[in-house]
Amino acid sequence: MIHRDLGLTDEEYKAIQDRLGRDPSYTELAMYSVMWSEHCSYKSSRVHLRNLPTEGPHILVGPGEGAGIIEVAPGKAVAFKIESHNHPSFVEPVNGAATGVGGIVRDILSMGARPIALLDSLRFGPLDEARTRYLVDGVVHGISSYGNSIGVPTVGGEVVFEDCYAENPLVNVACLGVIDTKLMNGKATGPGNAVILIGSSTGRDGIGGASVLASAEFDDESHEKRPSVQVGDPFTEKLLIEACLELIREDLLVGFQDLGAGGISCPISEMTAKAGTGMTVRLDAVHLREPQMEPFEIMISESQERMMAVVEPGNVQRVLDICKKWGLHAGVVGRVDDGDAVKVVDGAGETIADVPAVSLADEGPVYERPYERPGWIDEIQAADPGDKEPPDLAQAFLDVLASPNVADKSWVWEQYDHMIFLGTVQGPGGDAAVIRLPDSDVAVAITADGHGRYCYLDPYEGARSAVVEAALNVACTGARPLAVTNCLNFGNPEKPDVMWQFAQAVEGIGDACKALGTPVTGGNVSFYNETSGRPIFPTPVIGMIGVLDRPDAAVGSALSGDGDVLLLLGDTDPADLGGSEFASRVHGVIAGRPPKVDLADARDMIDLLVEVAGSLSSAHDCSHGGVAISLAESAIAGGRGFDCDLPADHRFLFSESPARVVVSCAPDNARQVAEAAEKRGVTVQQIGTVGGTELRFGGFTVSLENAKHVAAHSLADALAGPTIAS
Amino acid sequence: MNPRVGVVVFPGSNCDLDAQKAFRDLGADVVSVWHDEETLPEVDVVVLPGGFAHGDYLRTGAIARFSPIMDAVRSFADAGGLLIGICNGFQILCEAGLLPGALRKNAGLKFLCKWVDLRVENASTPFTNAASPGDVLRIPINHFEGNWYAEPDVLDELKANDQIVLRYVDNPNGSLDDVAGICNPERNVFGLMPHPERACEALLGSTDGAVILRSILASSPSLVSAP
């Protein structure tokens, strides 16, 4: 029953036998096991993902390629994609996170784009556990050491702490690239063309990463899977980026793809399936890290920092020379054939695999897994949402401010180079990062947001909220949201309640993206995020990109002018405390119904923010912690206080009603902003003025100094505790 | 004639393009020089940029000092040419013995990317003469190994010769005597951990780095000898 050890079911094995009309060889079986894995084939998610909107006027390339391509200005295209590296990061945090960065960077590179920015969306368990601190430290170090070394700035993201991620942290990494000279494709066209493998040698690391590690639940023995985690070498990745961009600039490549999950089996089958060609690969030509590797190991090794290029015979020498200049190994490992077969030949000249390319790449199983709304959803939605009045409003404010989900995350992002490329107009810590594209006056705003708690309480509403929050974060900078990439982190899809969460969340994302006009250009699905039967909160993470007309027009979240007027845009429902940071932090409750977002309102708000950006001094959305925390964050960022007259009501102050933004502007501009809001039917409330050294909410006052101290120290202090090596 | 700046690119350098852009924006002609070359082109200034030359394997700068171009760089400096090492470039200059001391891991054992304030201690160098002594420059750091150290007698000598050019106002990395940047006794070789090329545009947060870059360009032979 070797196929079961490789992660294939009996039915899947039977399907392979039927397709081939014979038993597969061991090498063939290994290739099917990775290509038909959940991670590579999307076999459980595909039927749902089909319903997402994927087309729009700015979308040049949608899902199915290395990354989505979006035209952000005439003649200026960017690549944008997010991926998960959850399981590897739990088993080995430093290398798991590092290779997560490496993998998404190669996806972007495969499109012919220079990677210019990274976002990390990280989720961990409670900080009072030593193991969490060990994971945070390792993951942040992994991202820092890899991202900094390859010279791609990490400009934003999110860090969330929640009990459900204790045994299954989430490490989602998004990358933005800008097309350098030519948009590449992953097609092995032109029979007779050479197939060149560029980069690191192929070793025994990462065997079964896609099938054994990423596509199964965790249990107590999961740490024995450590050999399935790949080891990253950022130095080689940096050389790979520069060498490959030079190859593309010199127009030497016909087709190009990265090697990630599934190892070499992936590009040889996908590139031929897309082109309608075949390919022969010679195993003895693959540059190995250690001798005596078994053929199946070579075929599915997930050794990092490798790319595959299809090259016309006349250009082969030039390609090899450029790689040599960069100190990279490159070698011809095969050729494109007529026909449709992927063939693998061993050193003795014997054919050890010979299967139709499409059977590996496109004909994997597609499951319509059963799904059912779980009974516990009704119970939890009917439960007390944690909206009781706190004993002391000022103390409740400080408690929410000190929540590691709210507090200053500079402990994390100061470890990331967030400035290289001289394009970081707004870096980490604000709503969205604003990046000026190299050698241009075009700027984009990018963000990654998820809301596991809301999705746990109502996956449909939670997913919509995540899309809206991402879009608002982008719009707060003045950028118009253009497109989405998503990373869908869920439990075991073989369980009907998990599959229901997934189906609901995908529907929510689809509805929100349609309403906001932001198509989904691709992304990644990560199932089996559970340990010993306990799934994580369903956590779709939305990567959003928008475009600004001018980089110097970007609006920040920091209060910037004494005497400025503070306006609250949008409607506040004091009942919106279900799943809120207040309920969790002050009452220890995650229950009730999450806020329900009105997509038409969200769209109006986005249009308004884009329209009035030029008149604003600051803009910051109200998310975790509501209007109270939004105001405090803007004050701390700007180093100046405010004087507001807000109701002394916790339900108003901490309500997380969606699609609300606090903006500040010069008094002379207030009227124009208010009129623009009214014209779009957006509720506008003048709530106070900027200035002073205190946060005066109306019902209570906290000194700016104290608020700053609380926000700055809570995460750093919590992380200063001892960690354990595991 | 515009000043000519050569930016050396080692495998693993990653701030070379930023340094090129910053100098070019200030009016310099810029060429990149691959580490494998054995001669430098005709330039007024040589820049060893930031990054992770040769992956920082073994020790920062330890392999880069053996790159073929380094002999030419040394001769260039010996002949009085202006040589600046930024971040990883500073580490390489120390490994090559062109500047004293060594860069250890930050005291907090964490990589640090943040804005810092630097005090100009010596404004009589070709790298700082557009500033005045005591000026405070806001320029970002971006390093794991920026904790400069030297033996006490070396430090004394540096102080006696006024070779400490920049000090941190609020020491971020444990660097001895708050040292952020030093020069050689002849004042034509300068190394600093902060990244002046990242602080040359108001849009990016500061233009104080341009004070250093402008000093260098104003001191370059092409400009100085121009009629």
Question: Domains in chain A, please, with CATH?
Answer: 8-41+184-364 (3.90.650.10), 53-76+93-173+423-554 (3.30.1330.10), 372-407+555-715 (3.90.650.10)
Q: Over pLDDT 90: what percentage of chain A? A: 88
Q: What is the 3-state secondary structure (H, E, C) of A351-376?
A: EEEEEEHHHHHCCCCCCCCCCCCCCH
Please answer yes or no on whether A151 and B201 come within 8 Å at the CB atom.
Answer: no
Q: Which of these ranges, A148-157, A221-230, A261-270, B124-133, has the smallest mean pLDDT?
A: A221-230
For A142, other C-beta atoms within 10 Å of its C-beta total 26
Q: Render pLDDT for A64-73 as a digit per residue (tens, 0 to 9).
A: 888 999 999 9
C-beta separation of A117 from A433 below 8 A:
yes
**Residue A725 predicted with pLDDT over 80:** no
Å from B203 to nearest chain A CA? 6
A-chain residues within 8 Å CB-CB of B201?
Answer: 422
B-chain residues within 8 Å CB-CB of A236?
Answer: 55
**Beta-carbon contacts of residue B201 (< 8 Å; ≥ 6 apart):** A422, B25, B207
Please answer yes or no on whether B203 and A552 come within 8 Å at the CB atom.
Answer: yes
A-chain residues within 8 Å CB-CB of B22?
Answer: 422
Please answer yes or no on whether A238 and B56 come within 8 Å at the CB atom.
Answer: no
Please answer yes or no on whether A149 and B11 come within 8 Å at the CB atom.
Answer: no
Among A175, A52, A11, which residue's Cα sits nearest to residue A510? A52
- Whether this model's ipTM surpasses 0.85 comes out as yes
Please answer yes or no on whether B18 and A422 come within 8 Å at the CB atom.
Answer: yes
pLDDT for A218 equals 63
pLDDT for A211 equals 62
The CA–CA distances, whole Å, from A675 to A365, A477, A646 equal: 56, 20, 22
Nearest residue, CB atoms, B140 vs list A144, A419, A552: A419
Q: Over pLDDT 90: what percentage of chain B? A: 96
Q: Looking at the complex, does the CB of residue B52 fall below 8 Å from at least one CB of chain A? A: yes
Helix, strand, coil percentages (3-state) for chain A, rounded to 5, are 40, 25, 35
Among A459, A71, A32, which residue's Cα sits nearest to residue A266? A32
Q: Render pLDDT for A512-536 as a digit per residue (tens, 0 to 9).
A: 999 999 999 999 999 999 988 889 9
Residues A515 and A484: their CA atoms lie apart, in Å, by 13
Residues A146 and A137: their CA atoms lie apart, in Å, by 14
Q: Band the pLDDT of A102: cuts 50, 70, 90.
A: very high
Q: Looking at the complex, does the CB of residue B99 fall below 8 Å from at least one CB of chain A? A: no
Please answer yes or no on whether A421 and B17 come within 8 Å at the CB atom.
Answer: yes
**Residue A544 predicted with pLDDT over 60:** yes
pLDDT for A228 equals 62
Please answer yes or no on whether A327 and B55 come within 8 Å at the CB atom.
Answer: no
**Closest residue in chain A to residue B51, using alpha carbons only:** A149
Å from A383 to nearest chain B CA? 44
The per-residue pLDDT of chain A, averaged, comes to 94
Q: Band the pLDDT of A224: cuts 50, 70, 90.
A: low
Q: Tally C-beta pairs within 8 A across A and B.
A: 79
Q: Looking at the complex, does the CB of residue B203 fall below 8 Å from at least one CB of chain A? A: yes
Among A456, A493, A298, A475, which residue's Cα sits nearest to residue A379? A456
Please answer yes or no on whether A422 and B113 come within 8 Å at the CB atom.
Answer: no
Q: Where are the alpha helices (DSSP H) in A402-542?
A: 410-413, 452-457, 459-476, 496-516
Please answer yes or no on whether A235 and B54 come within 8 Å at the CB atom.
Answer: yes
Q: Looking at the complex, does the CB of residue B95 fall below 8 Å from at least one CB of chain A? A: no
Residue of B26, B113, B139 to mutate when probing chain A, most A C-beta within 10 A: B113
Please answer yes or no on whether B15 and A420 come within 8 Å at the CB atom.
Answer: yes
**Domains of chain B and CATH, by start:** 4-224 (3.40.50.880)
HSE-CB at A169 with a 13 A cutoff on CA atoms is 33
Take residue A309 and report the two structure tokens written for it: 């290029």
Please answer yes or no on whether A422 and B57 come within 8 Å at the CB atom.
Answer: no
- Residues of A with a known catalytic role: 39, 85
B-chain residues within 8 Å CB-CB of A418?
Answer: 113
Q: Render pLDDT for A341-357 as a digit per residue (tens, 0 to 9).
A: 999 999 899 999 999 99
> Pairing mode, if any, of strands A530-531 and A520-526?
unpaired
Which own/partner contact pairs does B166-170 have at CB distance under 8 Å and 24+ positions apart?
A: B166/B118, B166/B119, B166/B120, B166/B121, B166/B128, B166/B137, B166/B192, B166/B194, B167/B118, B167/B119, B167/B121, B168/B116, B168/B117, B168/B118, B168/B119, B169/B116, B169/B117, B169/B118, B169/B119, B169/B136, B170/B116, B170/B117
pLDDT for B12 equals 96
Nearest residue, CB atoms, A422 vs list B14, B21, B36: B21
Å from A408 to nearest chain B CA? 14
Å from A637 to nearest chain B CA? 14
Mark out chain A residues that contact chain B at CB-CB < 8 A.
Answer: 144-145, 148-151, 233-236, 238-239, 325-327, 410, 413-422, 424-425, 436, 551-552
**Closest residue in chain A to residue B140, using alpha carbons only:** A419
HSE-CB at A409 with a 13 A cutoff on CA atoms is 23
A-chain residues within 8 Å CB-CB of B143?
Answer: none
Nearest residue, CB atoms, A149 vs list B18, B52, B110: B52
Take residue A73 and report the two structure tokens written for it: 């200005």
Please answer yes or no on whether B113 and A150 come within 8 Å at the CB atom.
Answer: no
A-chain residues within 8 Å CB-CB of B55?
Answer: 149, 233-236, 238
**Residue A223 predicted with pLDDT over 60:** no
Q: What is the 3-state secondary structure (H, E, C) of A480-504?
A: EEEEEEEEEECCCCCCHHHHHHHHH
User: What does the pLDDT average to over A183-201?
Assistant: 95
Å from B162 to nearest chain A CA? 31
- Residues of B with a known catalytic role: 87, 195, 197
User: What does the pLDDT average to over B74-91?
Assistant: 98
Burial (0-12, 13-18, 19+ Cβ within 10 Å), A679: exposed
User: What does the pLDDT average to over B25-39?
Assistant: 97
Residues A688 and A394: their CA atoms lie apart, in Å, by 18
Å from A191 to nearest chain B CA? 35
Q: Band the pLDDT of A726: cuts 50, 70, 90.
A: very low
Please answer yes or no on whether B198 and A422 come within 8 Å at the CB atom.
Answer: yes
Q: Render pLDDT for B139-191 as a digit per residue (tens, 0 to 9).
A: 999 999 999 999 999 999 999 999 999 999 999 999 999 999 999 999 999 99
User: What does the pLDDT average to over B195-210?
Assistant: 97
Nearest residue, CB atoms, A416 vs list B36, B113, B203: B113
**Residue A320 predicted with pLDDT over 80:** yes
Residues B192 and B91: their CA atoms lie apart, in Å, by 9
**Residue A723 predicted with pLDDT over 70:** yes
Q: H-helix or E-strand containing A15?
A: helix A10-20
The distance between the two most distant Cα atoms of chain B, rounded to a whole number of Å, is: 51
Q: Looking at the complex, does the CB of residue B15 fall below 8 Å from at least one CB of chain A? A: yes
pLDDT for A347 equals 87
pLDDT for A6 equals 86
Q: Which of residues 181-200 of B touch A (CB under 8 A)?
A: 195, 197-198
